[in-house]
Chain A
């Protein structure tokens, strides 16, 4: 993938699509940051921005899909090129979903701010989860940019942590709800937000798995951690 095609235009086309994917990735990263921020600092305007920007994320998904189908039609990509194209198509699907989750979080944030309630939700508990999820997305996008297949293992481990955190949060919330029924609405909101974050983590993990297929040609989805370690060891 470092050497150039004889058809220079082909190189340009591939590069253009990669750039767009990375652009979508940073946009989505920003969406998550802003959505969580709006939640924590009760910033209505920020929430509004996030919701509006989701259109841009969707538009990018459509564009990139189209570009990829043109490349397939015209270039009949094979081997490494084929894997790149296929995985980019899958990646943007996951990115778009992450964008949706961010928009959901922003909408919750709006609802929370508007509702005048005695008990405002405390999102401190989910801060760890959120940080992990953000970091996972960042790492997987980085892995894509650098064609680095080694990141899949740490990201998978982080995803396990996110899942654990999620379970912990649920237990905590159940405790709250049992102690004081007035906290139920707030707890449910916190639950939904943490669910969204957990999903973001899953999507980020998917993206890192795609990178492995892109680089090594091995499909590491749906395999166990031990098997993944094996694959990571191979060249």
Chain B
């Protein structure tokens, strides 16, 4: 199926992560992230997939005592984003995140999307208007909110709020978007909308998604990685993983024999 040439957008090299207090949550993971493709991380609870995801945008920096080892290298510039000298703020400008439970700011819809631009010093109203519109269109929610941009974000439904959060993450034109179980709080139709949106977004950027719903990983991703107890058990293209996985552990998890 994958006959197109693919380029590497990022990769982790021997990534280890320790929580404050010593918990070795990510063990020596080396994984590629291909450009304009969706990579899914699956695994049972506590396997470290969310922890692994949050290394990419240095979320762990917010809580003291956490330690990274190894590298996450971005291409084509070959920067290791875990290096001391690399500013976490810069990393987050290139890599944005959508969280599990929709978490819009208690501001208007417009301000939610514009915030990412404002923190960068963008204040020109015209520019902001254009970019907000573009982001809301990219998140497939423009038509539903274009007449009420000044309404509070909290008045939207759950699925709409999540798409608003996606628009907020899109507004800054990231290279990689991280999704942390983006639909686990949503109903099936909202879920389908988000999955469809992800398929469209991958044409513009690279996506890494954590999901505990295997069928979602099967539907949406090009590559799938199975993690267990902090280790990367298997990585491959989704078709292969779901029809003939190499490792018994993967097979057991996917067929519901454990986990």
Q: Tell me if chains A and B make direct contact, with any CB pair below 8 A.
A: yes
State whether A76 touches B243 (Cβ < 8 A): no
B contact residues around A77 at 8 Å (CB): 255
B contact residues around A217 at 8 Å (CB): 243-244
B254 in contact (CB, < 8 A)? yes
Name the distance in Å between A221's Cβ and chain B's nearest Cβ.
Answer: 16
State whether B257 touches A5 (Cβ < 8 A): yes
Q: In the complex, which of the residues B215, B251, B259 contacts A80, with contact meaning CB atoms closer than 8 Å?
A: B251
Of residues 148 through 196 on chain B, the ones whose CB sits less than 8 Å from some CB of chain A are: none
Name the distance in Å between B188's Cβ and chain A's nearest Cβ.
Answer: 14
B63 in contact (CB, < 8 A)? no
Name the distance in Å between B106's Cβ and chain A's nearest Cβ.
Answer: 39
A219 to B169, CA, bound (A): 44
A216 to B257, CA, bound (A): 19
A contact residues around B256 at 8 Å (CB): 5-7, 10
A76 to B216, CA, bound (A): 12
B214 in contact (CB, < 8 A)? yes
State whether A3 touches B258 (Cβ < 8 A): yes
A68 to B179, CA, bound (A): 35
CB 8 Å contact bits of B221-259 with A (1 = contact, 0 = none): 000000000000000000001111100001110111111
CB 8 Å contact bits of B84-127 with A (1 = contact, 0 = none): 00000000000000000000000000000000000000000000
State whether A5 touches B255 (Cβ < 8 A): yes
A229 in contact (CB, < 8 A)? no
Name the distance in Å between A166's Cβ and chain B's nearest Cβ.
Answer: 35
A80 to B256, CA, bound (A): 11
A contact residues around B257 at 8 Å (CB): 3-6
B contact residues around A80 at 8 Å (CB): 244, 251, 255
Give the most central of A79, A81, A217: most B CB within 10 Å: A79
A82 in contact (CB, < 8 A)? yes
Nearest-neighbor residue (CB-CB) of A11 within chain B: B257
Name the distance in Å between B18's Cβ and chain A's nearest Cβ.
Answer: 32
Of residues 57 through 91 on chain A, the ones whose CB sits less than 8 Å from some CB of chain B are: 76-83
Name the distance in Å between B259's Cβ and chain A's nearest Cβ.
Answer: 8
B contact residues around A4 at 8 Å (CB): 257
**With contacts A83-B244, A217-B243, A217-B244 known, is A78 near B252, CB below 8 A?**
no
B contact residues around A83 at 8 Å (CB): 243-244
A contact residues around B255 at 8 Å (CB): 5, 77-81
A216 to B246, CA, bound (A): 10
**With contacts A83-B243, A83-B244, A217-B243 known, is A78 near B254, CB below 8 A?**
yes
Of residues 185 through 235 on chain A, the ones whose CB sits less than 8 Å from some CB of chain B are: 216-217
Name the distance in Å between A127's Cβ and chain B's nearest Cβ.
Answer: 41
B47 in contact (CB, < 8 A)? no
A78 to B213, CA, bound (A): 13
A7 to B259, CA, bound (A): 11
A145 to B255, CA, bound (A): 20
A contact residues around B251 at 8 Å (CB): 79-80
Give the most central of A3, A78, A81: most B CB within 10 Å: A78
A197 to B255, CA, bound (A): 39
A80 to B218, CA, bound (A): 15
A43 to B110, CA, bound (A): 88
Nearest-neighbor residue (CB-CB) of A3 within chain B: B257
A contact residues around B214 at 8 Å (CB): 78
A120 to B44, CA, bound (A): 70
A contact residues around B258 at 8 Å (CB): 3, 6
Name the distance in Å between A90's Cβ and chain B's nearest Cβ.
Answer: 15
CB 8 Å contact bits of B135-154 with A (1 = contact, 0 = none): 00000000000000000000
A80 to B255, CA, bound (A): 8
B contact residues around A7 at 8 Å (CB): 256
B contact residues around A6 at 8 Å (CB): 256-259
Name the distance in Å between A57's Cβ and chain B's nearest Cβ.
Answer: 30
State whether B242 touches A79 (Cβ < 8 A): yes
State whether A79 touches B218 (Cβ < 8 A): no
B contact residues around A76 at 8 Å (CB): 215
A6 to B241, CA, bound (A): 20
A126 to B259, CA, bound (A): 55
Q: Would you give 9 A-B contacts (Cβ < 8 Å), ordered by A?
A: A3-B257, A5-B257, A6-B256, A78-B243, A79-B250, A79-B254, A79-B255, A80-B244, A217-B244
Shortest Cβ-Cβ A-B pairs, 6 listed: A217-B244, A78-B254, A3-B257, A81-B255, A79-B254, A78-B242
